[in-house]
Amino acid sequence: MKNIFALLICMLSASLWSQVTPTSQDSITFNPQQQLNAAQRILSGNYGKAVTVGAYGEITYNQPEADNGEMDVQRLVLLFGYRFNDKTQFVTEIEMEHVEEIFVEQAFVNYAVANNISLRGGLMLVPMGIINEYHEPTTFNGVERPGVDNAIVPTTWREIGVGVTGRFPEQSITYQAYIFNGFKSTINNDGAISGVLNGSSGLRGGRQKAIKSTIDSPTFSTKIEYYGLPGLRLGLSGYYGKTQAEDEIESIEGSNIGIAMVGLDARYAYKRFAARGQFIHASLSDTEDYNNLTGGDLGSALMGYYAEVAYNLLPLTKAQRLFAFARYENYDTHADTDGDLIRNDAYNRTDITTGLSYHIAPGVVLKGDYQFRSNAQQGSDVDNRLNFGIGVWF
């Protein structure tokens, strides 16, 4: 751990002695056609200089009903970009979670083949839905990310791969296409095979996060977005492939499953009004064999959606923004099951979140919301939750 912190200090010190310029502060822009995530902002903001430095982070307070509250430095992410020449750039994100864990969230080389097309390779975000790519705290309403983007997608989902990204300006279309390694499915503990995927959290436990990732078959990921109508951005995402198992067990029946995921998303803004919505569906094959092998309860289909509306209570002439919002979402990690596995209604969850997002300056937001949480299981009692948070991005 000391070595990691020493490395971070050296990187930061070296950057300060270089030509350092913070990324442009555009996080208060809510037009989805102009919205950039952290990596895009570094890539578009460091022409004419060698090193670009930024960061984002959030501190949260969660108070469930009839339980103790929890305060947390949920994450702090350091952003570094380096321009080798006019065509070649490097972007990385170093994330510290809960003041105790350190991860590399992104680390990739971007090579501009032409004005509207680039090749990429390294550790990158899988383009699925909205939040997985746009999860900086000033870019979304609510203290916590939507449940759909935690249980179904699952955010933050990143893998090692290569691919291409670009746009067709005349058609108002952007595209991404990548070959990645996939989710891990099983672990071999001295001959005892256990699963890392389950009914409650779906695929989330299989994220390899580039930590000595196992790969036996590549997966394919793509996203197409349309921005031809004022204030509107539409996205269609797809992901297809198989999970990854270690060499000694990959031939065992049930050690791997197949995944076919599709996502639809929309973002819209007009004057003081904003809205967004998302739908994600994943079909999983061979889950009956997987559950028989691992003793798990993984469903054969995952499904989630949400719709959100927001309104800025302050005049557009003001630099600050105060959004009142409401979001309805439903997500089910047992949308379907195979074999004798009975669907667990506790995994069919509904959240209604309403609150305020106060953007006091470009890159700084104060958040507060209340969540009405429930599931479809008869007689279940899920605690509602009050949340507060501070988010920054620069």
Predicted confidence at residue 380, as pLDDT, reads 87
If 0-12 CB within 10 Å is exposed, 13-18 middle and 19+ buried, where does residue 390 land? Answer: middle
The rounded percent of the chain whose pLDDT value lies above 70 is 92
Predicted confidence at residue 27, as pLDDT, reads 56
Predicted confidence at residue 189, as pLDDT, reads 84
This prediction has a pTM of: 0.90
The answer, yes or no, to whether residue 36 has pLDDT greater than 90, is no
Listing DSSP states for 219-276 in one string gives EEEEEEEE--STTEEEEEEEEEEE-B--TTTTTSTTS--EEEEEEEEEEEEETTEEEE
Q: Are the beta carbons of 124 and 143 closer than 8 angstroms?
A: no
Predicted confidence at residue 69, as pLDDT, reads 95
Listing DSSP states for 208-221 in one string gives -TTSS---SS-EEE
Predicted confidence at residue 34, as pLDDT, reads 83
Structural domain includes residue 84:
yes
The answer, yes or no, to whether residue 287 has pLDDT greater than 80, is yes
Averaged over 157-175, what is the pLDDT? Answer: 97
Listing DSSP states for 33-90 in one string gives TT---HHHHHHHH-TT-SEEEEEEEEEEEEEETTS--EEEEEEEEEEEEEESSSSEEE
Structural domain includes residue 330:
yes
- The region of weakest confidence among 18-22, 196-200, 223-227, 305-309 is 18-22
Structural domain includes residue 71:
yes
Predicted confidence at residue 41, as pLDDT, reads 87
Reading the block at residue 382, the tokens are 């899920």
Sign of torsion, CA 90 96 102 103? negative
Band (5; pLDDT cuts 50, 70, 90): very low
Predicted confidence at residue 120, as pLDDT, reads 98
Predicted confidence at residue 246, as pLDDT, reads 86
Band (55; pLDDT cuts 50, 70, 90): very high
Band (18; pLDDT cuts 50, 70, 90): very low
Reading the block at residue 125, the tokens are 């975000």
Q: Are the beta carbons of 284 and 302 closer than 8 angstroms?
A: yes
Structural domain includes residue 15:
no
Averaged over 159-167, what is the pLDDT? Answer: 97
pLDDT in tens, 204-239: 999 999 999 999 899 999 999 999 999 999 999 999
Predicted confidence at residue 35, as pLDDT, reads 85
- The region of weakest confidence among 58-62, 72-76, 213-217 is 213-217
CA distance 197 to 183: 9
- CATH code for the domain in which residue 382 is found: 2.40.160.10
The answer, yes or no, to whether residue 16 has pLDDT greater than 50, is no
Structural domain includes residue 275:
yes
Band (12; pLDDT cuts 50, 70, 90): very low
- The region of weakest confidence among 47-51, 257-261, 314-318, 328-332 is 47-51
The rounded percent of the chain whose pLDDT value lies above 90 is 80
Structural domain includes residue 11:
no
Give the number of domains in the chain. Answer: 1
Predicted confidence at residue 49, as pLDDT, reads 66
pLDDT in tens, 321-355: 999 999 999 999 999 999 999 999 999 999 999 99
Averaged over 148-171, what is the pLDDT? Answer: 96
Structural domain includes residue 5:
no
Band (1; pLDDT cuts 50, 70, 90): very low
Q: What is the overall mean pLDDT for the chain?
A: 91
pLDDT in tens, 81-109: 999 998 999 999 999 999 999 999 999 99
Domain limits for position 132: 25-393
The single residue listed with the structure tokens 């990690």 is 333
pLDDT in tens, 110-150: 999 999 999 999 999 999 999 999 999 999 999 999 999 99
Structural domain includes residue 18:
no
